[in-house]
Structure 1
Amino acid sequence: MSTTIDAHTHVIAVDEESYPVDPIGGKRSTWSTEHPVDIDGLLRALDTAGVERSVAVQASTVYGHDNSYVAEAVRRHPDRFIGVYSIDAMASDAVQKIQHWQGFGLSGFRLFTTGTTMPGQADWLGDPASYPAWSYAQEHGIPICLQMTLDGIPALQRTLAEFPRSRVVLDHCARPVLSDGAPYRRAQGLFDLAEHPGVYLKLTHRALQAAAEGRSTVEEFLAALVETYGSERLMWGSNYPAASGELVDLVAAARGELSSLSEEDLANVFGRTVAAFYALDEKDA
């Protein structure tokens, strides 16, 4: 079996004095207080689940744009963690913040425009004030992790028209509504984004749950995504520990849900895609 890489995990420190809580939007996520996992805990979970590496995505609903704990995870275990930091793309010093956190060995930034503590779609996505961050990322090949809803697709389309060489991965497949079933007219915007070769999708538990609702089936949704995007632009992420349960069980559940895919497609979704997206081979060389 090829290398398994989890594209979406979070780490929460026990020490709140060294790593103070300052969530985006001012409200801390419930999961981060009920079942947090620190660096050592995530490492143990990866080992138990047989996951070689994971992307530690900034817990935006805990630390906001202070990425110190993600940076600490990468510093301590650069062979196991890929770090994604959060920035305020509307801030006048956004480019300086990108340079700062890239300097800690982190591998790309996250733009947080929606979430369980911030329902809806933030209206700043696509604002020209955010373009310096996009421009810098495009120029330097820095990947962007984007937490958004389908309502943000028009704004993302405008931004990608300005920066067509951007590489963007959409958390949770942009939280689509899939209950109408194939051909997924209610999520047409998600499929339209495939025309941009730099757009990738994360198949997390949220996306897979949505794919099992109403008339939809996970198998049909996966077939539509592979046909439209190709498996080389799809990556699996557990969302552990925001997703409740043990990582080993989340991995097993995902492999069961994705079992309709070919061996080649599974190898892409469970490792090759995320490795290519974050240029891991180049970093390890």
Structure 2
Amino acid sequence: MIDAHMHFWRLDRGDYPWPTAELPALFRDFLPPDAAAMVSGSGVTGVIAVQAAETEAETEFLCDLARQHSWVRGVVGWTDLAAPDAADRVAALARRCGNALLGLRPMLQDMADRDWIAGAAIDAGIDAMIASDLALDALVRVDQFAPLVRRAERSPDLRIVIDHAGKPDIAGDGHAAWASAIAPLAAMPHVHCKLSGLLTEAGGRPAEVLEPYIATLIDLFGPDRLIWGSDYPVLLLAGDYGSWLGQARRLAPYPQIFGANAARFYRLDMRERLLLLSADDNVAVALADLTAGEPVPGGAALIEPAPFGFKVAVRAIPAGAKVMKYGTPIGSATRDIAPGETVHLHNMQSDYTRSHTREMEQEA
């Protein structure tokens, strides 16, 4: 099982606007050892850490935690997608975090401009996310669903997941308006939804009030596009970990919601089997023996088997173009190479081979 929405913070880092001292239950450090003790015995074997501060420094802090704790399977981070150099920022952050970075989350719910996510100002940043194979966690409320629809229409290759089901007004009995507004998003196959945060939105009401909301999500998204998350430690404001997990499993009795969907959406298995170290890379390196048909970053599938250590094209490489691995050119394509094709000396002229041959000729 995978918990697809967990937060970690260390307050002395100093870049968290929230929580504040007015929330004593949350105003302390929450780190992987705390969570590990809490989830023990739950069946959860991996978690995804989601940003809580609008800084790249916090994202790198979370990526460091993922490197230190293997059960932290990856990170949903942050960078300024509206910055003039947003494309460079996304690529650089992806390079620094490597396989640990799974996606990005702009703090949409707090923005005065409710249409921000749909604007052309972030197109370059979104395109860079797609190029780096990063997903978008959409932290939105109901009044931002329509702009998110427009973004999803403009960016069909962007994997999107709605955090906390869009924070319906459960305490205010807002089911009808929420269900109508989320339906167009659910109709888009590249949009998923997190079954998380709902207990908090219920405002202390009995868990039974969640039933119509979860039933609607299952009806609209189906069991294959719903992803469970705890929203720990924010969850502690409304309940405890084991109770929320048990309630969710009872109301949404589909095992894929509690693990397989998260692994597929965030490409966890692929990231652990194919190393794409730099956003500039057009080849990934197989970390295991791979078979034809397996997915590769960018949405393609392996055309042929790729044994351990082989290079795999993650996007089309035209004849004559540089082959990039680990952020470094290693040669040039001698013919057009398709996404999902292995790359070696039958379709690439190696820079190493050329230089080695020159050295041999000079010695002769």
Residue 90 and residue 49 in structure 1: after superposition, are their counterparts in 2 closer, same or farther (change >3 A)?
same
Greater helix content: 1
Deviations 1:10-58 (A, max 9, x none): 11126x3xxx3224xxx33235852431233233333354420000011
Q: Which residues in structure 2 correspond to 1:47-196 (within 5 Å)? A: 47=40, 49-60=42-53, 64-66=55-57, 67-103=59-95, 104=97, 105=99, 106-114=101-109, 118=110, 122-178=114-170, 179-180=172-173, 184-196=176-188
Q: Displacement of 1:169 after TM fit?
A: 0.9
2:266 corresponds, among 258, 266, 278, to: 278
Q: Which residue of 2 aligns with 1:21?
A: 14
**1-structure distance, mates of 2:216, 2:270:** 31
Residue 229 and residue 121 in structure 1: after superposition, are their counterparts in 2 closer, same or farther (change >3 A)?
farther
Amino acid at match of 1:279: R
Q: Which residue of 2 aligns with 1:230?
A: 222
2:241 corresponds, among 246, 250, 256, to: 250
Q: Displacement of 1:86 after TM fit?
A: 0.8
Residue 45 and residue 254 in structure 1: after superposition, are their counterparts in 2 closer, same or farther (change >3 A)?
closer
1:11 corresponds, among 8, 12, 31, to: 8
Q: Displacement of 1:122 after TM fit?
A: 4.4
TM-score computed with the length of structure 1 as normaliser: 0.81
Residue 189 and residue 121 in structure 1: after superposition, are their counterparts in 2 closer, same or farther (change >3 A)?
farther
**1-structure distance, mates of 2:5, 2:268:** 15
Q: Which residue of 1 aligns with 2:33?
A: 40
Residue 254 and residue 44 in structure 1: after superposition, are their counterparts in 2 closer, same or farther (change >3 A)?
closer
Tell me, which stretches of 5 or more residues in structure 2 are unaligned?
Answer: 274-364
2:197 corresponds, among 193, 196, 205, to: 205
Amino acid at match of 2:19: S
Equivalent residues of 1:148, 1:170 under 8 A apart:
yes
TM-score computed with the length of structure 2 as normaliser: 0.65
Amino acid at match of 1:28: W
**2-structure distance, mates of 1:237, 1:82:** 14
Equivalent residues of 1:236, 1:270 under 8 A apart:
yes
Q: Larger relative contact order (C-alpha < 8 A, sep ≥ 6)?
A: 1
**2-structure distance, mates of 1:35, 1:112:** 22
**2-structure distance, mates of 1:245, 1:36:** 15
The count of corresponding residues between Structure 1 and Structure 2 is: 264
Q: Displacement of 1:257 after TM fit?
A: 4.2
**1-structure distance, mates of 2:47, 2:18:** 23
**1-structure distance, mates of 2:113, 2:261:** 27
Deviations 1:93-112 (A, max 9, x none): 22222222222131111111
Q: Displacement of 1:258 after TM fit?
A: 3.8
Amino acid at match of 1:126: A
Equivalent residues of 2:179, 2:216 under 8 A apart:
no
Tell me, which stretches of 5 or more residues in structure 1 are unaligned?
Answer: none
Kindly report the root-mean-square deviation, in angstroms, between the aligned alpha carbons of the 2 structures: 2.9
1:268 corresponds, among 256, 264, 288, to: 256
Amino acid at match of 1:224: T
Radius of gyration: which is bigger? 2
Equivalent residues of 1:108, 1:144 under 8 A apart:
yes
Name the SS of the counterpart of 1:152 in structure 2: helix
Equivalent residues of 1:170, 1:199 under 8 A apart:
yes
Equivalent residues of 1:202, 1:234 under 8 A apart:
yes
Amino acid at match of 2:46: R
Q: Which residue of 1 aligns with 2:300?
A: none
Equivalent residues of 2:169, 2:201 under 8 A apart:
no
